[in-house]
Chain A
Amino acid sequence: MKTTETPAPLPAESGASVSKIDVAPAARPSGRKKEGGVLNVFSHGVLIIWAIMVVMPLLWAVMTSFKDDSSIFGSPWSLPDKLHFDNWSRAWTQANMSDYFLNTVLVVGGSLIGTLVLGSMAAYVLARFDFPGNRFIYFLFVGGMSFPIMLALVPLFYVVNNMGLLNTIHGLILVYIAYSLPFTVFFLTAFFRTLPTSVAEAAFVDGASHTRTFFQIMLPMAKPGLISVGIFNFLGQWNQYMLPTVLNTDPDKRVLTQGLVQLAVSQGYKGDWSGLFAGLVMAMLPVLAAYIVFQRQVVAGLTAGALK
């Protein structure tokens, strides 16, 4: 992460300002201190207000997930009269959250592994081998980052349908992988370029095949890059909503985001709002936990995505 880097050393030109040091601090200390004081109260105030605005809805969701239906609607801001853990167990068993969870884990697990393996294979070849068409293929992959997915979604539905992959877990996995490749290839190509060539060459001279060199030497060396891009893809795939909504209409195959939205829509008839809130919080917890544990890598991966 960039924030931990120390600033660049003093450039020679700005040395001119050094002569003013004797004059300026003596002339203006009180004025600056005052401005700083007022501004600090103000800036802390604003920062705290936004922090509250971020945390409040999340805490409210957690709190609501422990309340019963009548108090959810009667007094949305009151604390639960007692902790209704039954909401959570009801959501898990009756509202199919366990199924959605399992589907999500399967889809994200499969696509995450597939994305990392296929993405690093393509990126390795593109980064370290010179062959005709190398640039073209690279830009074909990277170009995919800036196009609106929705445009391709209509024909994609029929491609997936014709292959008999509609409403299947493995079909969803393949599509997730395909749509994760642009950023993954982009990120890992840059990463493989930074790795030293000497180790790979030594292994090759010792008689290892290209494939073996890749899997036994280069892939372990690329571990930090794989972790960053892996977390990025984990969050993106776990949170995916548009692709499953279009490609996966079988109620038994729903993933978490989709399942929750469907539950909320059908709640008009069933009315288990407390169970739904428990489900919402259940779906939030894994990503919040992953974020807190891997905070640095998440930030590094996501910000690299914007700065392409």
Chain B
Amino acid sequence: MQHGKYRFIVGFLALPLGLYALFVVWPFIQSIYYSFTDWTGLSPEFKMVGFDNYRRMLHDDIFWKSLQHSLLFALVLPLVTISLALFFAFMINVGGRHRRGGPVVSGVRGSSFYKIVYFFPQVLSIAIVALLFAFAYNPDSGAINSLLRGIGLDSVQPLWLGDPDLALWCVMAVLVWSTVGFFVVLFSAGMASIPAEMYEAALLDGASRFTTFFRITLPLLWDTVQSGWVYMGILALGAESFAVVQIMTTGPGGPDYSTTVMVLYVYQKAFRDGQAAYATTIGVALLVVTLAFAAIVMRLGRRERLEY
């Protein structure tokens, strides 16, 4: 297999690697470099300014707000989404009634139907989901408030996205809605590979389903839960939160910057305010937050790996 091997390798790698280096790797390196300049993005001239952008960032109230919101996204979203998904997945896979002659543990009736339906939102564009819910949240004529009116709750008519205290939670709820199904399917796959004998033994010993969940399912699924947590956190800090906040909230960024997140702030500084260098500085902060988040989750979540 040696004849012409290197020519072949170079020939096959050149194009993909070149494209990847040009559009992904090179911009990454550049952005760190630009964060030390005063580049506006509008003209080609710029000069090095050292840590000026970073100093400015530390005194920027909107930056701190966006950081706070992004951290809230990275902590609350995975917690809610993964708890809900674990609960649903357990019900679907293990929560079924024991049928005579059937397997010891099984899902509820129609479990594959639930798995298919729950996954629907995951295949839709987050931009389209955000648009749809922006209509539903409309305070006067939106579906949610008119539903509340319909069941007699005329006095409860929140402004939803227009209320600075509520807007961020409304936006988060949409992300929960769109991602739970994915984790249900992910955890279902993990649960299916847990040997049924473990449940059998526990049930014979008189364990309740709550005990089985916390003593068998969760420990054996821990690796999947942990990588799901990191995955969700990265999504919540990045592209997904950008789309929902930019599309759904007024401003965009919400009343009084109540929903601004870091990635939106990067976008606005670069492409609205013509402050490309400062935008990349916030981008670097976002990278640090993302990496720190992943490292902390991996570190705190470390458990002895269970073999089965």
Interface positions of A (Cβ within 8 A of B): 1-5, 7-8, 10-11, 14, 17, 20-21, 24-25, 27-28, 32-33, 35-37, 39-40, 43-44, 46-47, 50-51, 53-55, 57-58, 60-61, 64, 72-77, 118-119, 121-122, 124-125, 129, 131, 137, 140-141, 144, 146-160, 174-175, 177-179, 181-182, 185, 201, 204, 209-211, 214, 235, 238-242, 245-246, 256-258, 260-261, 264, 277, 280, 283-284, 287-288, 290-292, 295, 298-299, 302-303, 306-308
B123 x A307 contact (CB < 8 A): no
Q: Which of B48-56, B58-66, B126-134, B157-165 contacts A (4 or more CB under 8 A)?
A: B126-134
A290 x B141 contact (CB < 8 A): no
B27 x A211 contact (CB < 8 A): no
Within 8 A of A (CB), among B191-247: 192-198, 200-201, 203-206, 208-209, 224, 227-228, 231, 234, 237-239, 242-243, 246-247
Task: Report the number of A-B residue pairs with Cβ-Cβ less than 8 Å.
Answer: 313
Interface positions of B (Cβ within 8 A of A): 1, 4-6, 8-9, 11-13, 15-17, 19-20, 22-28, 30-31, 34, 41, 84, 87-88, 91-92, 95-98, 108-109, 114-128, 131-136, 140-143, 146-147, 150, 177, 180-182, 185-186, 188-190, 192-198, 200-201, 203-206, 208-209, 224, 227-228, 231, 234, 237-239, 242-243, 246-247, 263, 266-267, 270-271, 276, 279-280, 283-284, 286-287, 290, 294, 308
Q: Which 7 A-B residue pairings sit nearest by Cβ, starting from the closest?
A: A239-B125, A178-B23, A152-B27, A151-B283, A2-B189, A17-B201, A155-B30
CA distance A302 to B12 in the complex (A): 27
CA distance A209 to B5 in the complex (A): 10
CA distance A75 to B190 in the complex (A): 44
CA distance A188 to B141 in the complex (A): 48
> Which of the residues A146, A235, A261, A280 comes within 8 Å of B247, measured between beta carbons?
A261
A306 x B227 contact (CB < 8 A): yes
A3 x B192 contact (CB < 8 A): yes
A178 x B19 contact (CB < 8 A): yes
> Which of the residues B34, B185, B224 comes within 8 Å of A299, measured between beta carbons?
B185
> Which of the residues B142, B185, B308 comes within 8 Å of A11, measured between beta carbons?
B308
CA distance A69 to B237 in the complex (A): 36
CB within 8 Å for A54 and B31 given contacts A76-B146, A118-B19, A178-B24: no
A137 x B119 contact (CB < 8 A): no
Apart from A121-B15, A178-B24: 9 A-B pairs, beta carbons within 8 A: A21-B204, A47-B108, A77-B146, A122-B16, A124-B12, A140-B20, A151-B284, A181-B19, A307-B186
A261 x B127 contact (CB < 8 A): yes
B200 x A17 contact (CB < 8 A): yes
Across the interface, which residues of A come within 8 angstroms of B203, CB to CB?
A: 32
Q: Binding site of A, secondary structure by majority: helix, strand, loop or mixed?
A: helix
> Which of the residues B192, B228, B234 comes within 8 Å of A148, measured between beta carbons?
B234
Q: Binding site of B, secondary structure by majority: helix, strand, loop or mixed?
A: helix
Across the interface, which residues of B come within 8 angstroms of A61, CB to CB?
A: 132
Across the interface, which residues of A come within 8 angstroms of B228, CB to CB?
A: 306
CA distance A209 to B30 in the complex (A): 40
A148 x B125 contact (CB < 8 A): no
Across the interface, which residues of B come within 8 angstroms of A290, CB to CB?
A: 123
Across the interface, which residues of B come within 8 angstroms of A246, CB to CB?
A: 267, 271
CA distance A119 to B209 in the complex (A): 45
A119 x B143 contact (CB < 8 A): no
A148 x B290 contact (CB < 8 A): yes
> Which of the residues B23, B116, B284 comes within 8 Å of A179, measured between beta carbons?
B23
A154 x B283 contact (CB < 8 A): yes
Across the interface, which residues of B come within 8 angstroms of A129, CB to CB?
A: 5, 8-9
A286 to B: closest C-beta gap in Å: 10
B91 x A46 contact (CB < 8 A): yes
CA distance A20 to B202 in the complex (A): 11
B4 x A10 contact (CB < 8 A): no
- B150, B181, B185 — most chain A CB neighbours (10 Å): B185
A10 x B131 contact (CB < 8 A): no
CA distance A50 to B98 in the complex (A): 23
CA distance A167 to B194 in the complex (A): 50
CA distance A24 to B131 in the complex (A): 55
A11 x B195 contact (CB < 8 A): yes
A150 x B239 contact (CB < 8 A): yes
Across the interface, which residues of B come within 8 angstroms of A53, CB to CB?
A: 177
CB within 8 Å for A119 and B118 given contacts A148-B234, A210-B4: no
B189 x A303 contact (CB < 8 A): yes
16 example contacts (A-B, Cβ-Cβ < 8 A) are as follows A3-B188, A7-B195, A51-B118, A60-B136, A141-B20, A146-B234, A148-B263, A148-B283, A152-B28, A155-B27, A235-B123, A280-B131, A287-B125, A288-B123, A298-B123, A303-B185
B143 x A76 contact (CB < 8 A): yes
